[in-house]
Chains A and B, each alone.
Chain A
Amino acid sequence: MHFAIPVLSLTIWLPIIGGLAVLASGDKAPNISRWVALSFSVLAFLVSLLLWTGFDASTAQMQFVERAPWIPSFNAWYHLGVDGISMPLIILTTFITILVLISGWEVISYKPSQYMAAFLIMEGVMVGVFSALDAILFYVFWEAMLIPMFIIIGVWGGPKRVYATIKFFLYTFFGSVFMLVALIYMYFKSGSYSILDFQALPLSLTEQIWIFLAFLAAFAVKVPMWPVHTWLPDAHVEAPTGGSVILAAIMLKIGGYGFLRFSLPITPDASATLDWLVIAMSLIAVVYIGFVALVQQDMKKLIAYSSIAHMGFVTLGFFIAFSIFARAGATGGVVMGMEGGMVQMVSHGFVSAAMFLCVGVLYDRLHSREISTYGGVIHTMPVFGALMVFFAMANAGLPGTSGFVGEFMVILASFQADFWYAFLAATTLILGAAYTLWMVKRVVYGPVTSEKVAGLQDANGRELLVLGILAVAVLALGLWPAPLVEVMDASIQNLVQHLAVSKLAVAPAAVAVLP
């Protein structure tokens, strides 16, 4: 599809340019910086909507493609494009960024323009990750993401922010180095850095397994999957509210996206061989982390753990594919599992963002994230309390909210893979409700427990605006997920067909070409 304007480039560079401008302007007129930042993010969102309106949902081809030479000596290209998998995630990114900027409006008084700038730059970089079709470009965006987030946590974070930032940085960097090696290896085999070429590249099973593991190291840390998840609770606890929102709503999705864009299509046979590993890690995330979340005393930690459990559904939905192929031979369940994982990612973007924002609202008032500080908040903040209960219900996967859709699809699909997968996954109905609603009981309900709670003011207009928009999004996706599922259907179908064909059969012919 050809568009008069380079939509993807605009979506990437508008916020980055805006961010640099805000950064340059300094803190002399913080209000102007805020408005400028907001305008840029709204503009980027509007531009990104063109991706939705101009999207052709009937094809799995890359759309809005831009391709220009970048580093000729490496054969690296400035190559962008989206399909039904990346497009919803890009819009999620531009949408959430606006809310984050509004939520930090007057709360951040320390270096506000730098704060706004960090998020704008972060936005552009994340859109870059989702739209890059060249592996080097992808890798540059991927690593570049770490910098703004590192600064956001390191500058505006809590008391233990240094430990958290270093842990966060090293963890994710550790994973991505292996990915870089894998990418370079494939460059030497194919002579190209194009991700689409990688997907068509024949690889032996041994090669695939090494590449798969390298990708797994990168993406599992990002998602994060058990057992490489322990950076997330620390990062969330120390991050400012906006940082937590971006982290949970978007950054984690990049791990899930990586599985769909890299692991599965590039190494289908290794994925089929090692699917048990990912499935086991996913189910452990759902069950084990569910129990861990139950005993958290810190609201942000609780939601962070809940994020890990919810992301377990994403990876589970992606990797049950091969068991379903083996058992039923039908692709229906495979498609449902992957679409379920995708819907879960978008939904989690809304719900986790809302939950972190709710904690932020309370934290801004009493400067405590401890559950025990609160109790009876509903009596002083009835509107906020109602919203928090609503989002808690979405987090617990109540039908009618977005939180239900993805979990429902993945549970249904995993039943086709193995009864016990579905059994373990479905425990989230109990565990998710238990940890979320127990927190609600102790924070929102009950008699007013302290003078501090008695003095709370209900959410102000700005906070209500942000939470209200998210509530509408959660409800809309829960009541009518069809539009979202439709745009991704062709791409997912295509991916599933690609997965059903082994790369090994064609390998010998290709080997001859290589040297």
Chain B
Amino acid sequence: MENLYLTIVLAPLVGSIIAGFLGSRIGRVGAHSVTILGVGLSTGLSLYVLKGFVDGTLSAFDGPVYTWMISGGISFEIGFLVDKLTALMMAVVTFVSLMVHIYTIGYMADDEHNWPQESLAGRNAYQRFFSYISLFTFSMLMLVMSNNFLQLFFGWEAVGLVSYLLIGFWTVRESAIFANLKAFLVNRVGDFGFILGIGAIAMYFNSMDYQEVFAAAPALAHTQVQIWGDSSWSLMTVICVLLFIGAMGKSAQVPLHIWLPDSMEGPTPISALIHAATMVTAGIFMVARMSPLYELSETALSFVMVIGATTAFFMGLVGLVQNDIKRVVAYSTLSQLGYMVAALGASAYAAGIFHLMTHAFFKALLFLAAGSVIIAMHHDQDIRNMGGLRKYMPITWITFLLGSLALIGFPGFSGFFSKDAIIEAVHLSQVGGAGYASVLLTLGVFVTALYSFRLYFIVFHGKERMDDHTRHHLHETPAVVWVPLVLLAIPSVFIGWMTMESVLFGDWFKGVIHVAPEHDVLGQIGAHFHGQTNFVLHGMMAPPFWLAMGGLALAWYIYMMKPVIADYAMVRFSRTYRILEGKYGFDQFNMAVFAGGSRALGKLFWVTGDQGLIDGILINGSAQGVGRIAQRLRGIQTGYLYHYAIAMILGLVALLTIFVTF
């Protein structure tokens, strides 16, 4: 079994190395062939593994690959844990990655236009791009397949590295290299918490291995630790909150969400793969994986839920005022990640993972469809210049529509099942903050529908606002671009219906995700579950459905019937509009306080501390002091004999006086 799993992980890495190091030799076709071959192999094998788990022919695997190091009594291993959770993640990651690989052939075909003519870095940029996305696939697989905290952290930071490289892929753009530095640093703030969480685990569990830690966790459930003064904290709360800070960075939760909208500076394929479908869901995966720990701390669960719900609602609102097609989808991603996180807080881990899966398909679809629009629009991303595109690109139009319907949770579409399950789960949850979360998540449905269909109507319907030149060249994108759209549209529509019963209420996650009986909200929902049709019918009588329809209808009314309403609202609610447009001021605050503050502090330490106090006073000061004293003393050495004679006589007199008097 180990060889199979090693192949799944290493195939993309090999592809990446070949495309990266031999890019100029094997050319574009060579690079995309070899990487697609590698990822394709991984995808095939991952689906085989998933099927094995579905059929029951495979059982969970937990084994080491090699010992990274042994120090202080802890064995740090590299190893795989493949159970049903992992198998699901592997299938999602490799499948979306494969789609993105194929799509990229079309999207990056004209990439040389993005580079200055004389730039040598632009020569093999196409090959490099494939190398990076394959490297990403490797890193993400390492992350989800890990059986220990060390490798988890490795994968965690490695995906961050590739994200950094890809956001700044078009390195000539100042905005891109600003965004990638920002993304890396904000993620590092999260990792700061994460590594401390790992430190706590190393200290109290003396192990890095998941199974050992989970087995020992209940015994430590009531351990209290003192961090500040005498106030004591539950150890589990400390560990879970610290780990979750890492998840807040990676999965872009308030207030560490600020990097994700800017990450749209990267090429669209990676926005789909990394910043929508896979990497940003690493935090959700991690918390679900750690469910045996999170179940032991209601405080941590509350914290998780409140953060998630806040992100879900308030980031959705910002999506309403964006005019860049990718940024609308990016804010939508933030909001949907918030839903997943809130589900985790309600102990509905399965619902979080379920939404992660459906979202991976429909959000990758939306991003890739947006990319298709961007190609057609000659890389203009401003939706105010679009309109009526459905006539020119029917496949993109239909698939985008399907993705949007899945996103807003239209009954029967995949997003409907996953989102409804989350909302119901949070509604039933008893942990602190559940009431707050429940209200925000329900209202969020309306917001989601409004921004999604605002985007949809503005782009694909209504007046054609592009210039004549662009309109003249508008046409459907080539097959390498639209085939992945179609392939992603299929699961976006059907996967929810197909898998809901076993994933949410069945025994798919039995023994993998641990839920304490008193937190088992999904179990309560499952008790009343009587098949998908019933679930759909039931859902159509609940508020979220009507809110979604309301949002859709309002979007239709405003953007199709009475566009003046939008302008009127902008003026009437100008203050709210400005707050949303300013993204609640997070960016300004961070730039002024953290970026500016750090630089000011650095200057202060350097100029006042190092140069002023240490060098100026202590070092050079003492050197000058010695010099000055020497200067004075030198004055005594006049060289005149009578000066010395006088000194001798005075000395003699002084000594004699002393001898005589004492």
Contact = CB atoms under 8 A, between A and B. Distances in A.
Nearest to B119: A379
22 contacts: A227-B614, A227-B618, A230-B619, A292-B610, A332-B72, A335-B72, A376-B171, A380-B119, A398-B158, A408-B195, A409-B72, A412-B199, A415-B200, A415-B202, A416-B202, A433-B185, A437-B164, A445-B171, A448-B119, A480-B66, A482-B68, A485-B70
Given A433-B185, A434-B185, A385 B74 contact: no
Contacts of A13: none
Interface in B372-422: none
A422 interface: yes
Interface stretch (B308-316, B533-541, B594-602): B594-602
A482 B76 CA distance: 9
Contacts of B618: 227
Interface string A453-493: 01000100000000000000000000111100110010000
Contacts of B72: 331-337, 339, 409, 413
Contact of A291 (B168, B188, B601): B601
Given A379-B119, A400-B154, A412-B202, A446 B614 contact: no
B609 interface: yes
B172 interface: yes
A438 interface: yes
A378 interface: yes
Nearest to B619: A230
Interface in A406-445: 408-409, 411-416, 419, 422-423, 426-427, 429-430, 433-434, 437-438, 441, 445
B172 A447 contact: yes
B321 interface: no
A24 interface: no
Contacts of A376: 171-172
Interface string A392-413: 0100001110001100110111
A158 interface: no
A80 interface: no
A251 to B, nearest CB: 19
A460 to B, nearest CB: 15
A194 B391 CA distance: 90
A288 interface: yes
Contacts of B214: none
Interface string B108-130: 00000000101111111000000
A46 interface: no
What class of interface size applies to chain B in its complex with A? 35 or more
A498 interface: no
B161 interface: yes
B70 A291 contact: no
A434 B594 CA distance: 11
A167 interface: yes
Contacts of A227: 614, 618
A429 B178 CA distance: 19
A140 B165 CA distance: 49
Interface string B617-647: 0110001000000000000000000000000
Chain B: interface secondary structure?
helix
Contacts of A296: 606
A486 to B, nearest CB: 8
A295 B195 contact: no
Nearest to B198: A412
Nearest to B620: A167
Interface of B: 66-74, 116, 118-124, 153-154, 157-158, 161, 164-165, 168, 171-172, 174, 177-178, 181, 184-185, 188-189, 191-192, 195-196, 198-200, 202-203, 206, 225, 227, 598-599, 601-603, 605-606, 609-610, 614-615, 618-619, 623
Given A167-B619, A429-B191, A446-B171, A379 B122 contact: yes
Nearest to A390: B161
B195 A399 contact: no
Contacts of B605: 288, 291-292
A84 interface: no
A482 B153 contact: no
A398 B157 contact: yes
Given A380-B119, A438-B181, 17 more contacts: A291-B601, A295-B602, A295-B606, A336-B72, A376-B171, A379-B121, A399-B154, A413-B72, A422-B196, A429-B192, A437-B181, A441-B181, A445-B177, A448-B119, A481-B68, A482-B67, A486-B70
A230 B614 contact: yes
Contacts of A337: 72
Contacts of B225: 419
A266 interface: no
Contacts of A405: 69
Among B161, B605, B609, chain A packs the most CB atoms within 10 A around the CB of B605
Contacts of B67: 482
Contacts of B177: 441, 445-446
A151 B168 CA distance: 43
Nearest to B156: A399
Contacts of A438: 181
Given A415-B203, A422-B196, A437-B185, A393 B615 contact: no
A294 B600 CA distance: 10
Contacts of B189: 430
Contact of B606 (A292, A339, A429): A292
User: What are the 8 A-B residue pairs with the smallest beta carbon separation, nearest first?
Assistant: A336-B72, A415-B199, A295-B602, A332-B73, A379-B119, A332-B72, A291-B602, A399-B154
